[in-house]
Structure 1
Amino acid sequence: MIRATASDSLILRDVPGHINDSEILSFLYTKDVNWQHVNAIKTLTDFNDDIISDWLNVTVKTFREYKKPQTTFKENVKEQVLLLLSLIKHGITVFGSVDEFEQWLNQKNFYFDNKSPNSFLNTITGIRFVDDRLTAMEYGDNV
């Protein structure tokens, strides 16, 4: 895994720690979600371009274009990138490390209809659902 840079850590520090509509909307309207945020997803996790492009519902080629400085995003892509980063931040908080969080994301789980939580990250509703499960774990649910 490529280790996170100081820039990635700053990006992660600035994103909301939980998916909260008002915080997400405020971030989207006051800050720029750009190629650095996409690169942060890549460097903060062990997920490959195929998986991340699937989450964003784009081809691998398009995803690779997203990682370039000159790229601008549509609003829905900005929102999805921000939600994924927020989920990653929340997952690291709950599990204590990105490795433990990724392991949980990749394991089949009863609460996800015996699918891995990872398979739900290609929609905003799915990202929110996974984030809700993380919150449930914080409060003692077996998820």
Structure 2
Amino acid sequence: MGRALKTSDSLSYKLIDDKDVFMLISTVREGIKYNMFQNIADKSPFSTSEWSNYLHLSERTFQRYKKEKRTFDPLHSEKILEITLVYNKGIEVFGDKDNFDAWLEAKNVALGGIRPKELLDSTFGIGLLRDELMRIEHGVLA
């Protein structure tokens, strides 16, 4: 159908058009290979333990994926891409990786007093973060 995402492709909400949506769908259907995930993980502030929590995989299973260079199934692949997109959006909104990483770690009143990165384990939480980043971007602070 469409071409899949390559390690060199950059993911940003701002840059996604209809063609890119089909590329993301294709990537999810094919699954993300562990080496591509590792490239994504290396650019994020999240530990292996956090990634395994976000993807609802045990750390042992996660280590097996790494050892066997497995491909993540579509559900896990989609979550990896969603987290990557919201992370890249956060860097764009905050203008700097370090500032966004600090925001992810700090308890947030607008998000019910929890740390934003604690919301990355569900699609609803990721959507909440995306909405909050849009409010920040447009100067609408709750």
Same fold (TM over 0.5): yes
* Aligned residues of 2:48 and 2:59 also touching (Cα < 8 A): yes
Q: For 2:77 and 2:21, locate their aligned partners in 1 and report how far apart those are by CA, in whole Å.
A: 11
Of all paired residues, the percent bearing the same amino acid is 25
Q: 130-139 or 57-66: which moved more?
A: 57-66
Question: Quick check: which has more Rg, 1 or 2?
Answer: 2
Unaligned runs of 5+ in 1: 1-6
Using the TM superposition, give the Cα deviation of residue 68 of structure 1 relative to its aligned residue in structure 2, in angstroms. 5.3
In the superposition, the TM-score normalised over structure 1's length comes to 0.78
CA distance in 1, matches of 2:51, 2:20: 20
The runs of at least 4 consecutive aligned structure 1 residues that moved more than 3 Å come to: 22-25, 65-70
What is the alpha-carbon distance in structure 1 between the residues aligned to residue 93 and residue 36 of structure 2? Answer: 21
Of residues 7, 22, 28, the one that matches 1:26 is: 22
Q: How many Å apart are 1:24 and its aligned residue? A: 7.5
| Whole-Å separation in 2 of the counterparts to 1:23 and 1:90 | 19
Partner residue, 2:123: 124
Partner of residue 85, structure 2: 86
Equivalent position SS for 2:100: helix
- Structure 2 match to 1:100: 99
TM score, norm. by length of structure 2:
0.78
Change (3 A) 1:87 1:23: farther
Which sits farther off after the overlay, 40-49 or 111-120?
40-49
Report matched runs for 1:3-22 at 5 Å.
10-11=8-9, 13=10, 15-17=11-13
Give the match's secondary structure for 2:13: coil
Structure 2 segments unaligned to the other structure (5+ residues): 1-5
Pairwise CA RMSD: 2.5
Q: Cα offset for 1:69? A: 6.7
**Matches of 1:23 and 1:133 in 2, distance apart?**
26
